[in-house]
Amino acid sequence: MQYEVEYDDPDLRRPKRRGRKTAQVILIVLAVLLIFLAGAAGGVGGVLLFSADNGALAKKLGVNGDLAIPTTKTEKLVVEESNGIIDAVNKVSPSVVSITTQTTVQGILGAYQTESAGSGFIITSDGLILTNKHVVADATAQYTVVTLDGKTYSATVQSQDPTMDLAVLKIDARNLPVVDLGDSDQLQVGQWVVAVGNALGQFQNTVTSGVISAKDRQIQASDSAGSSSETLSNLLQTDAAINPGNSGGPLVNLAGQVVGINTAVASDAQGIGFAIPINQAKSAIDSIKKTGKIVRPYLGVRYIEITPDIAKSSSLSVDHGALIEPGSGLTDFAVVPGSPADKAGLQANDIVLQVNGTDIDVNHSLIQLLQNFQVGDQITLKVLSKGSQKDVKVTLEQAK
């Protein structure tokens, strides 16, 4: 049998001849295509191309009558979203509160009220709330706590941490949802975290997410006016957006556990925020639960942590330790008068190198090492003073 093939090009006028086998192949291909189209349209799971009923067709095409052509089965795929961030937020949000501050200011035209806001989270079911000290620093202000369900409570400042930017509020309530505390020592750089808080003082329980960008950061934190400067060490750095009003709110892992307390943001950067590791706050939490206030041992010095870069730029003879920094004002002392450090003879520009044999470095800050002791403990400091090293014994006292 001969087959003619037409061409669009008028110069190609000679038809080509094709043999019987070529024709059979063409018919098979056409048959298979038709069957696939039928299977797709009808949702058929598998098709038998040739059987006893169409053996004549198979014989005519010169193929085995038992040939079966399998087809694929089409199923509807349903994707169920189970996101760790959503689970973490659902777990922690009921325990996150907004804190508003009303302050009466005396102006030229008379008294008027100002208002600011922050965040916190519930640590006991009877109304203890952990937040930043700078959120509730004004002793004359009135504080109000708003829970996730919209209930409003008058709050009092129960205690403030003398060595860290932490404070505890108390509200009159019962059966409150309490956060689950995680282990900040186990955090890894790159690990996902979520920040929850009262962003800008207007958007309650705003959720932002990011990663742990770095650990053991030291910053010089101050308020928006550039006053109330405070050195904070061993902080977690995160790129989860932290806005004004987020201060005091929780930083949580994907298990919904609090691993940090959001406390500061680099105002001249994008996505650089800082949080106090929750492990540094656990002793304060234990103390407030047992005694009703935060009891911390303190040394009584103003200092900066020495890094290799600081050592190089300042031409220091050591690349680690805590440099007792000279004060900048009449009340800004390098060594607090009457403090344990003062009684032990420490002076400005001394460098504390060790606490009980442990080096002060990027992994062990002075304040972190002091938290391992109790009020009344005697510790031994290795101090570099005027070019010579010496051991100094200090009896820790309760910070006032």
Q: Which two tokens stand for residue 389?
A: 């090293």
Burial class from Cβ neighbours inside 10 Å (0-12, 13-18, 19+) for residue 282 reads: middle
Q: Domain 180-289 maps to which CATH number in 3.40.50.880, 3.50.30.30, 3.90.228.20, 2.40.10.10?
A: 2.40.10.10
pLDDT score of 7: 35
pTM for the model stands at 0.69
Looking at residue 24, its pLDDT comes to: 59
Q: Single out the catalytic residue among 93, 95, 134, 339.
A: 134
One DSSP character per residue, 277-324 reads EHHHHHHHHHHHHHHSS---EE--B-EEE--HHHHHHTT-S-SSSEEE
For 57, which DSSP code? H
Q: Which residue has the tokens 């010095």?
A: 301
Residue 320 known to be catalytic: no
Q: What is the CATH number of domain 296-398?
A: 2.30.42.10
Please tell me which residue in 159, 247, 339, 365 is annotated as part of the active site: 247
DSSP H or E segment with residue 148:
none
Query: Where do the structural domains in the chain lie, given as residue ranges?
Result: 1-78, 93-171, 180-289, 296-398
Does the CA dihedral 327-309-183-238 come out positive or negative? positive
Identify the H or E element spanning 242.
Answer: none
Q: What is the pLDDT along the chain (400 residues), one digit of tens a residue?
A: 333 333 333 443 434 444 455 555 565 656 556 555 555 444 444 444 444 445 554 555 455 555 555 555 666 555 444 488 999 999 999 999 999 998 877 777 777 778 888 999 999 999 999 999 999 988 889 999 999 999 999 999 999 987 789 999 999 999 999 999 999 999 999 999 999 998 887 788 899 999 999 998 878 766 555 555 667 878 999 999 888 889 999 999 999 999 999 998 887 777 799 999 999 899 889 989 888 888 888 898 988 889 888 899 989 999 999 999 886 655 568 898 999 999 999 999 999 999 999 999 877 888 888 888 888 999 999 999 999 999 999 999 987 6
* Fold classified for 93-171: Thrombin, subunit H (2.40.10)
**Nearest to 243, CA basis, from 226, 225, 263:** 263
- pLDDT at residue number 151: 94
Q: Which two tokens stand for residue 324?
A: 């007792």
Nearest to 332 by CA among 231, 236, 240: 231
Q: 244 is written with which tokens?
A: 């004004």
pLDDT of residue 380: 96
- The reply to whether 296-398 shares the fold of 180-289 is no
| Residue 364 annotated to the active site | no
- Which DSSP string corresponds to 370-400? HTTS-TT-EEEEEEEETTEEEEEEEE-EE--
Gap between the Cα atoms of 236 and 285, Å rounded:
19
The pLDDT, as a whole number, for residue 115 is 80
Helix or strand holding residue 3 (H, E)? none
> What's the gap between Cα 282 and its chain centre?
18
Check 98, 119, 165, 339 and give the catalytic one. Answer: 165
For CA atoms 253, 259, 262, 267, the dihedral sign is negative
Res 102: pLDDT: 87
The token pair at 296 is: 């911390």
* pLDDT at 32 (0 to 100): 55
- Compute how many other C-beta atoms are within 10 angstroms of the C-beta atom of residue 265: 19
